[in-house]
Amino acid sequence: MTESFRRSGEYENPQGHGHHQPAYPQQQASASPVNPVNPVNPVNPEWPPPPPYQPHAPSNAGKRARGPMALLAAVAIVAAAIGGGTAYGIQELTGNDIAASTTATSATSVVPASQKGTVAGVAKAVSPSIVEVSASSNAGESTGSGVIITKGGEIITNNHVVADASSVKVTTSTGKKYTARVVGTDSKKDLALIKLVNASGLKAATLGDSGNVKVGDEVVAIGSPEGLTGTVTSGIVSALNRDVTVATGGGQQQQQGGGSDWPFEFGGQQFNGDTGSSTTTYKAIQTDASLNPGNSGGALIDMNGNIIGINSAMYSAAQSSSDAGSVGLGFAIPINTVKSDLSTLRAGGSDS
């Protein structure tokens, strides 16, 4: 529309540069005014006869008010559409467990306002969603960590924590123990989904957006290093998009009674033991938060309490894997990688 309705009830001609015409042009002074007795013969047959009265300002104001109201209605419709899309996204992420809070932006905070931005606040808010994972296989017993993502007991962990496991046990932050089954594994991304048997009412973690993570951001790590359940450490994001290569099989987690063995490869060198011939490489978040064997599968968390990564590897300068310990070079799988892989893991994983 090239004309605009003005407050005074006039049309503005954009080509007239400020010249205004009455709302009904046929009412202009003219050599041939309208014959009120014969409205069939108006001055300009292209325009309908004018009303018997001039438009009043209140009527014009009412017309103007409908503009913003219509805009608000449109916004409301768009918001409803967005809301529907969000609900669908949550359903896709959590299955039928819609109540579990598993998606968030980095601006969403699950930490109480009085403790926002503190390690203590993050630990208190998120620790109930972090578990210890104990797996048994022909190679022996091992311990790792996991993150609860639904109230019904779906848990994300590393593939190398549960690889080839014949049985899996899980201990929550309250000390309650569950039996778990492996739902799906993806050795290429070093991810696994396990499900607790007969579990309900658990506290699901909030999965953030690793795409918003920046170098220098403060982070908290929670896991079970050396079998010490619920250990909290903190640091910063040291780097992004590090290429880290890990073994696709088991043996990277804490081996009970046999020393630690958490091998991975970085920069063409192998650390903390031999990665073997079967490996996978992924882009990782690097952190100086202390990670040790047993942190595998645990959470890397931003200061709003959102999970931004799954801890998966560490560097140690120790010559022997049994003496491996944190020197402030840990690596986590970005949570966006986890979210994009959930539907595959729920379907049995890429290794099925």
Residue 197: Cβ within 10 Å count = 11
Token digits of residue 293: 């064997």
Question: 272: closest CA among 259, 286, 283, 284?
Answer: 259
Token pair 């123990």 in the structure block, residue: 177
C-alpha–C-alpha distance, residues 188 and 350, integer Å: 8
Is there a contact between 275 and 160 (Cβ–Cβ < 8 Å)? no
Active site positions, annotated: 160, 190, 296
Residues 194, 198, 204, 210, Cα dihedral to 10°: 10
Residue 58: phi and psi, rounded to 5, are: -60, -35
C-alpha–C-alpha distance, residues 184 and 205, integer Å: 19
- Tell me the residue ranges of DSSP E strands in the chain: 4-5, 11-12, 20-21, 130-137, 140-148, 154-157, 167-171, 177-186, 191-196, 206-207, 218-223, 231-247, 254-255, 259-260, 264-266, 269-271, 279-287, 299-302, 306-314, 330-334
Which residue type, as a one-letter code, is found at position 288? D
Question: 333: closest CA among 278, 268, 273, 280?
Answer: 280
Residue 283 makes CB contacts below 8 A (sequence gap 6+) with: 240, 241, 242, 243, 244, 334, 337
Token digits of residue 308: 């931004």
